[in-house]
Amino acid sequence: APDNIDQRIQESIKDMTGGAIGLAMGVLGVATSLYFVGENLIGASVEVKGLEFLGSYGSAVLAFLAVATYVPLNTWIAVKLGGLLERLNIRMQQAEGSYRSELTTFLRRSFHVAASHGEDVQKTMHDKLYVDIDKTWGRLNVVNTSYMSFELIYNFIGARIVSYGPGLVPFIHNGFDLKGYITGSEMVAQLISQCSWFIHVMPAIATLRANSQRVTELASAIENVQQPQEFYRQTGRSDFSYATQNPVFGLTIQKLELAHQGEDATPFLSAANLRFRRGEWTFLKGESGCGKTSLIKAINGLWPYGRGTIVFPEGVTSFYAAQEVKLQQVSLKQLVCLPGSENDHTDVLVAAALHKAGLGEFIGHLADESREGKLWDQVLSGGQKQKLVVARIILQQPGLLFLDEATGALDPEGKIAFHEAIKANCPDVTVISVMHEAVPPRSLSGEEFYHSVVAISDGVATKKPLAPALPRELTTILAQPRPAEDKWLRFRRLKQK
């Protein structure tokens, strides 16, 4: 994709507009020259010795033949050089894009680079990218200089040799006087110049084609990803199907297999049958890199390769909360209302959601896009951003909630408050959560937030209750207070001993 799409689109539109006008003027100039200059050449034409069968049109035929041979041959050379310029322009755009992208990434992670003393590694990376720009720029300058030299030589040969060649034979045989010879030759030179429009603008055409190709590639990529599975099937297996069912049955996953790119890629995660009932909280457990986040992404249609069936509860909205939270440059109210509009909720509801999430101190700034000159993305800490996500959840009231390490920036007390806020304000939500902890958090009273756990081991995901479930009758009996033992029974047991 282009490194700066807005810039490339503007350049392409401007160049295409100018190119269309220039092309029209060039074609018009060629047609006009052929008509007027050609008419004068024919009018001044004389018989050429050895070409008597052409009669008085001999010198004019020689002139047209010279133009028809010289201009197309050099236009072909110009097209070849233009193709090289086009490829170098594309390579230059790619190199500049890679460098700017890495520079932008570096600015975001500069603290981490400084903390880890990684300046030398970063410098090596930037040197490598800049060398690519420098080498490409050097080759581009060489080709541009070569094209300028080619154009100067072409103009000189056309104006001083080719244009004077056709009238030389008649002039030697006294068919022309010196004035007529020079006048006719200058008309041929003018005709060559007018017919050389493509040669003169070939560098601009090469740049236009490079910009247009980059924009077209992006447009094609956007069109292709409109059908994600068809797009991913070009580079691997993508056979996911999504359906809906009665909300009573919750969320169901059947015969799920996740893989990486490639037709023959071996699945790294499989789940035969997973069911998540309404209001159930499930904790995903497994070693780092086992596929916990990939499983959540696949459920939400965000994993490209694999197969399986995911059946959602009908009419239930879902909410995906990721670990990293990036805030747009909008008002605080709009940030809380995302992914909806700030007009969907009143200020009172938004303020209540912020208070329940632990961000009550910012209620007075709902209409502000910044605070003390800083955007909200800079004002709020990582933990506060994750509390903002809680406010969104409380406000949106989703039926399905996916927490992808959404409490990573919170301390243990903050994680408990995070879960308690959702538990208290979203009673019927189905939660599927990924966390770094091996054991899910509990409430301050010691109660479990989560009802079940999906354990991923050796590439297989299996679901089981977090605590073994006992039959309801036995649970009822165990919950009853133990009755006082009869003294006679106690005496009898002692006697038996």
pLDDT, tens only, 337-379: 998 889 999 999 999 999 999 999 999 999 999 988 899 999 9
Question: In this structure, which long-range contacts are made by residues 357-363, counting pairs with CB atoms below 8 Å and at least 24 apart in sequence?
Answer: 357/387, 357/388, 357/390, 357/391, 357/394, 357/421, 358/387, 358/390, 358/414, 358/417, 358/421, 359/384, 359/387, 359/388, 359/391, 362/332
Check residue 2 and report its DSSP letter. -
Instruction: Give the other-Cβ count within 10 Å of 117's Cβ.
Output: 8
Average pLDDT, the chain: 85
Average pLDDT in the 84-97 region? Answer: 88
> Cα–Cα distance between 433 and 449 in angstroms, integer?
11
Residue 11 is predicted with a pLDDT of 65
Residue 8 is predicted with a pLDDT of 60
- Sheet containing 238-245: give its strands across: 238-245, 306-313, 251-258, 269-276, 460-465, 452-457, 281-286, 430-434, 400-404, 318-321
What is the DSSP track for 168-234?
HHHHHTTSS-HHHHHHHHHHHHHHHHHTTHHHHHHHHHHHHHHHHHHHHHHHHHHHHTTSHHHHHTT
Q: What is the pLDDT of residues 142-191, one digit of tens each?
A: 999 999 999 999 999 998 899 888 888 888 887 778 888 888 888 888 88
Residue 480 is predicted with a pLDDT of 60
Cis ω on the peptide bond leading into residue 339 (within 30° of 0)? yes
Report field, pTM of the whole predicted structure over 0.75: no
Average pLDDT in the 377-403 region? Answer: 93
Whether 158 and 192 have beta carbons less than 8 Å apart is answered as yes
Q: Which residues contact 310 (CB under 8 A, 6 or more apart)?
A: 240, 241, 242, 243, 251, 252, 253, 254, 256, 298, 299, 301
Residue 489 is predicted with a pLDDT of 43
Quote the tokens at residue 353: 């959601």
Answer yes or no: is pLDDT of 494 > 70. Answer: no
User: Of all helices (H) and strands (E), which one includes residue 356?
Assistant: helix 347-357
Quote the tokens at residue 438: 């091996």
Residue 118 is predicted with a pLDDT of 85
Average pLDDT in the 394-423 region? Answer: 92
- CATH architecture of the domain covering 5-224: Up-down Bundle (1.20)
Residue with tokens 């909200």: 376
Average pLDDT in the 468-485 region? Answer: 52
Residue 67 is predicted with a pLDDT of 87
Q: What is the pLDDT of residues 37-66, one digit of tens each?
A: 777 878 777 787 777 777 787 788 888 888
CATH 3.40.50.300 maps onto the chain at 228-327+380-471
- CATH architecture of the domain covering 228-327+380-471: 3-Layer(aba) Sandwich (3.40)
> Cα–Cα distance between 463 and 484 in angstroms, integer?
41
